[in-house]
Amino acid sequence: MDAINKIRNDFPILSRKVKGKQLVYLDNGATTQKPQQVIDTIEKYYAYENSNIHRGVHTLSQEATTKYEEARETVKSFIGAGKNEEIIFTKGTTDSINLIASSFGKKLLKKGDEIIISAMEHHSNIVPWQMICEEKEAVLKVIPINKKGELIMEALEKLVSPKTKLIAVNHISNTLGTINPIKKIIEIAHKNNALVLIDAAQSIAHTPLNVVDLDVDFLVFSGHKMFAPTGVGILYGKEALLNDLPPYQGGGDMIKEVTFEKTTYNCLPHKFEAGTPNIAGGIGLASAIDYIKKIGFDTILKQEKALLAYGTQELLTIDGLRIIGSADNKTSVISFVIDGIHPFDIGTIIDQLGIAVRTGHHCTQPLMNFFEIPGTIRASFAFYNTKEEVDILVKGLKRAINMLL
């Protein structure tokens, strides 16, 4: 058995059948599958370790607290952060962005200030900024892209001004697969005294990241896109910045002392973690990180690069197929349209063949408007995908096209 097939055995779902056919799961951009190791960790937690954290003196509570805080430590090391205080557990990328937009916006945004995002953002990195800009009468500006789906960096240089307070961009576009030059963006922002939030939802499972090396101010991601459970995610923030921001939500755990007259807030990271968190999720996330480390980014990058090259080559053999997103620096996401056929129709037919791809606007409607298309069909690969699955996809697409045209 080759190395990839051995890895596939770690993911029970990959051996199931859909509509009587072997599942071909190519929707990793939406969510990744979970290895047995992560499933076992969560099961063990609920079976033998479940308890609330940070509150009880009893053994179970202390054990659960220790595991949860060890998980924070694992996340910290994984992204190269300096301190546990800089790692905030959230519900996911969307929750993390809303936290910063709200908290940063309330404290630091004034009328006429500017926030910059890009034309290829997921709705969750657009709408929270629109909401806070509306509230504060601030201005939202957008870095344009070219037809290849790359940021126009010269335009960014012109957009940044002394009024710019923060730049929020994704590292990798979920729709185009474009890898953005985040280090350069951070340099430009800092030269202009602006902060940067990087949405790493699509990069965290695909490329190593080091927040200190990047000098990024805030970095956010979701557990479920990195082989961990849904409902857990991370906000990394530089300690001094997080200390300066007001809490996002009020409730248990985020307080130091409460009276009816006044409440004082807990220190980091608890200040931003009101209420009982997703404890099993946090512990599951640490288990997923251990799993990624076991596979290693060398293997991940090699396999995903090969899948991108082979997938692009084979898909382009299909008449009438056009790839949307051809950036020079790209990850293993291939979005495409087929002349004369709506993406939903293709998605529905190939589902009958056991093939799971994403169809639609991928929560990037402004990007669809830019390319003047209603949506795309998106195959997004993980390291457990194979060239044989690319062949099945191509065969399935040809069959669907024959039926529809």
For 182, left (φ over 0), alpha (ψ -120 to 50), or beta?
A: alpha
> Per CB under 6 A, does 93 bind ligand PLP?
yes
* Among 122-130, 156-164, 185-193, 282-290, the segment contacting ligand PLP (CB under 6 A): 122-130
* Among 91-99, 256-264, 343-351, 397-405, the segment contacting ligand PLP (CB under 6 A): 91-99
- CA distance linking residue 332 with residue 80, whole number of Å: 24
Contact predicate 161/192, CB 8 Å: yes
Cα dihedral across residues 362, 196, 85, 288: positive or negative: positive
- Contacts with ligand PLP by CB under 6 A: the residue count is 12
Which of 33, 94, 180, 359 is the binder for ligand PLP (CB under 6 A)? 94
Token readout for 400 is 């669907």
> Per CB under 6 A, does 27 bind ligand PLP?
no
What DSSP element (H or E) covers 246? none
| Residues 219-278 close enough to bind ligand PLP by CB under 6 A | 222
Question: Cα dist. 213→131, 209, 249, 295, 376 in Å?
Answer: 31, 8, 30, 23, 35
> Per CB under 6 A, does 133 bind ligand PLP?
no
> Per CB under 6 A, does 170 bind ligand PLP?
yes
Active site residue 363: yes
> Per CB under 6 A, does 136 bind ligand PLP?
no
**x/- binding map, residues 178-207, to ligand PLP, per CB under 6 A?**
---------------------x-xx-----
Residue-level length of the chain: 405
- CA distance linking residue 293 with residue 296, whole number of Å: 5
Which one of 363, 365, 373, 374 is the catalytic residue?
A: 363
**x/- binding map, residues 39-68, to ligand PLP, per CB under 6 A?**
------------------------------
User: 3-class secondary structure for 92-130?
Assistant: CHHHHHHHHHHHHHHHHCCCCCEEEEECCCCHHHCHHHH
Catalytic residues: 363
Q: Rule CB under 6 A: which residues touch ligand PLP?
A: 92-94, 122, 124-125, 170, 174, 199, 201-202, 222
